[in-house]
Chains A and B, each alone.
Chain A
Amino acid sequence: MEFAIPILLFVGLALFAGIVLTVMARKFPGETTDVENSVLDALPGLNCGACGYAGCGEYAHSIVASNAPINACIPGGEESARKISEITGSEFTPTVSIKAFVRCMGSYDVTSDKYDYRGVLSCAASAKFYGGRSSCRFGCLGFGDCQEVCPNKAIKVENGCARVNPSLCTGCMLCASKCPKNLIVPVPSNQRVITSCSSEGFGKEVMSSCKNGCIACKKCVKLCPNGAIEMKNNLPVINSELCDACGKCAEGCPTKALKLIKR
């Protein structure tokens, strides 16, 4: 019968541990409210942290306790946001989606080739050779490395310059890592004005290499009534918190390098 003692002892200890834990959990419940629990149920429970909080629990807590935005959950998307707005009674705001955008307008019509390229037909190979064939040292090379990786065929090279079809783009940003010129940037759907040029050169250089480029004239900075535009590296940077999408900058831009997206 000597085998019974260790079994009984161990089972007894485990039972004791279980009882202690149950009693403790009953006696000291965490400070979560019913609203918080139902918000937590509306979230996907992935604990991915894309909302900027440490897991779904903390996000749910912040929604209830400190009015955190209800549309920050990216995997949950609209469905979660809608449910949460029903639970908390706060206004439903659509989730912010992200689309890729190619910050270059240098098609064949406005740029020229600086040499006759006969190597491997890829952007990566061409970029290694004196920075690529395009006359603009920042511009799109047009071999379509980006369109090869796109799972949805949302990005296509048209007339020597890559373009994104926003209705097909899911915002996975696979294309961005393929671009040797780093032209493809994620643009949140609430941003209305985009700089569609990446040239950090001064006006004279841009003028001689591309007719659609930003010549850093700073006209947009002066035109903006809200002071939302700032020049950085000879390119306008738009502060989307101050921008009210009036479109004055895009209207006044002499080369149309600033664009207002219509929605």
Chain B
Amino acid sequence: MRIGFILVSVILVDNFVLSKFLGICPFLGVSKKFSSAIGMSGAVTFVMALSAAATWPIYHFLLAPNDLGYLRTLTFILIIAMLVQIVEILLKRFIPALYSALGVYLPLITTNCAVLGVTLLNITEDYSFIESVVNAAGGGIGFGIALIMFSGVREKLETCNLPKAFRGMPAVLIAASIVSLSFAGFAGLAEGIFGSIGG
């Protein structure tokens, strides 16, 4: 029940990009093309779940017992950077096709604030290990949905005849705000399905 509650709320209601405004840089940068949006969201989902699984034990067994909770931001950045590098090395060696398809986006995930954000939120929300991983994977899926949906909007936007002042980024930002407004309609959805036990 609680797992389902977390999943629905992190994918739709508290969507990382559209409600918490984390990971805006890749959201605007990679949403130009549908195909690269799919690749990017897959990579982000994977890295988010992996880094949540790696940072949870580090916080609960290494930092918290030594009263070093305040070090978590720094430590998590370090761990995430290492994980992304390892994933890159392994992909390059074993799945070169996917490595070249992801290209520069893979190292860019290192500095994606949605990844760091989800690991830190897992700690502040006091989630268990399973809940943390589910929250992170759900956050990645939510990021993917937002990115893929928005890439569709942007492909339409490219062909529009706009006034000169709105061309390019301004129109994209306005479109992003409208898409994010539409996600506000999901407010209360998770409570509606699962009751208020999750709260």
Contacts and interface: CB of A to CB of B under 8 A. Distances in A.
Interface string A1-36: 000011001100110010011001100111100000
Interface in B50-106: 58, 62-63, 66, 68, 71, 74-75, 78-79, 81-82, 85-86, 89-90, 92-94, 96, 100, 103-104
A41 interface: no
A58 B96 CA distance: 11
Contacts of A17: 78-79, 81-82
Contacts of A9: 62-63, 66, 68, 71
Contacts of B104: 55
B73 to A, nearest CB: 12
Contacts of B89: 21, 24-25, 28, 30
A54 B100 contact: yes
Interface in B135-180: none
A10 B74 CA distance: 9
Contact of A54 (B71, B81, B85, B103): B103
Interface string A238-256: 0000000000000000000
Interface residues of B, number: 23
Contacts of A10: 71, 74-75, 78
B199 to A, nearest CB: 35
Interface string A72-111: 0000000000000000000000000000000000000000
A167 to B, nearest CB: 37
Contacts of A54: 100, 103
Nearest to B100: A58
A17 B66 CA distance: 20
B8 to A, nearest CB: 35
A21 B78 contact: no
Nearest 10 A/B pairs, CB to CB: A28-B93, A17-B82, A30-B92, A24-B89, A6-B68, A21-B85, A54-B103, A28-B89, A24-B86, A6-B71
16 contacts: A6-B68, A9-B62, A10-B75, A10-B78, A17-B78, A20-B86, A24-B86, A28-B89, A28-B90, A28-B92, A30-B92, A31-B92, A31-B93, A31-B96, A55-B103, A58-B100
Interface of A: 5-6, 9-10, 13-14, 17, 20-21, 24-25, 28-31, 54-55, 58
Given A5-B66, A21-B82, 20 more contacts: A6-B66, A10-B71, A10-B74, A10-B75, A13-B75, A14-B78, A17-B78, A17-B79, A17-B81, A21-B89, A24-B90, A28-B92, A29-B93, A30-B89, A30-B92, A30-B96, A31-B93, A31-B96, A55-B103, A58-B100
